[in-house]
């Protein structure tokens, strides 16, 4: 093997190692990012009671029927939260996320006592659309610290059919 040939290969090898080092830094930043948004040791043991997810009448602002996990696309729906099930010293909110992870409805943040008269959390139809988008919806009651959600106190999944 000629020396120049090995040197060129060594340059390629070392260049790849430099790129891999940058890659490792990127992955390390990712881990830090994950730890920041999902901090350890935040479990308070508190559990929020999600009474259920119901059909929602947007005209009256009231829920209708029984607790369900699947809705037709044309139907509107909302979750009902029993805020009294939570300790009053917490800062909490409730949110709906669609299957793209986009926020589709929110109540709070505030103390559970502040939110008692906001027990119904409806899913909002995206602006310019006739119906909610189909897919899997996630409803969460979260505890916040410094305006950042750090713990899920209650969670429900709901499917919206395509047809």
Chain positions contacting other proteins, by CB under 8 A: 1-2, 5, 8-9, 11-13, 15-17, 19-20, 22-24, 26-27, 30, 33-34, 36-38, 73, 95, 97, 101, 129-131, 133-135, 138, 140, 142, 149-152, 155, 157, 162
Which residue number, 120 or 152, has a Cβ lying nearer to other proteins? 152
Which residue number, 22 or 64, has a Cβ lying nearer to other proteins? 22
Question: Least distance (Å) from other proteins to the CB of residue 43?
Answer: 11
Question: Least distance (Å) from other proteins to the CB of residue 60?
Answer: 25
Question: Least distance (Å) from other proteins to the CB of residue 38?
Answer: 4
Question: Least distance (Å) from other proteins to the CB of residue 148?
Answer: 9
Cβ–Cβ under 8 Å, residues 140 and 112: no
Which residue number, 78 or 153, has a Cβ lying nearer to other proteins? 153
Which residue number, 21 or 89, has a Cβ lying nearer to other proteins? 21
Contacts for 31 with CB less than 8 Å, ≥ 6 apart? none
Question: Least distance (Å) from other proteins to the CB of residue 162?
Answer: 5
């Amino acid at each position: 093997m000629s020396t120049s040939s090995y040197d060129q290969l060594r340059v390629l090898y070392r260049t790849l190692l430099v790129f891999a080092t940058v890659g490792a830094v990127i992955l390390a930043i990712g881990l830090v990012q994950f730890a920041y948004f999902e901090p350890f040791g935040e479990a308070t043991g508190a559990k929020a009671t999600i009474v259920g997810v119901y059909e929602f009448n947007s005209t009256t602002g009231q829920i209708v029927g029984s607790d369900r996990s699947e809705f037709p696309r044309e139907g509107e729906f909302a979750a009902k939260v029993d805020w009294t099930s939570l300790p009053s010293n917490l800062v909490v909110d409730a949110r709906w996320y669609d299957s793209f992870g986009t926020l589709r409805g929110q109540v709070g943040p505030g103390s559970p006592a502040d939110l008692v008269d906001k027990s119904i959390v409806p899913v909002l139809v995206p602006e310019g659309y006739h119906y909610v988008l189909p897919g899997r919806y996630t409803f969460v009651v979260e505890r916040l610290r410094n305006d950042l959600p750090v713990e899920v106190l209650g969670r429900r999944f709901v499917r919206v059919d395509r047809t």
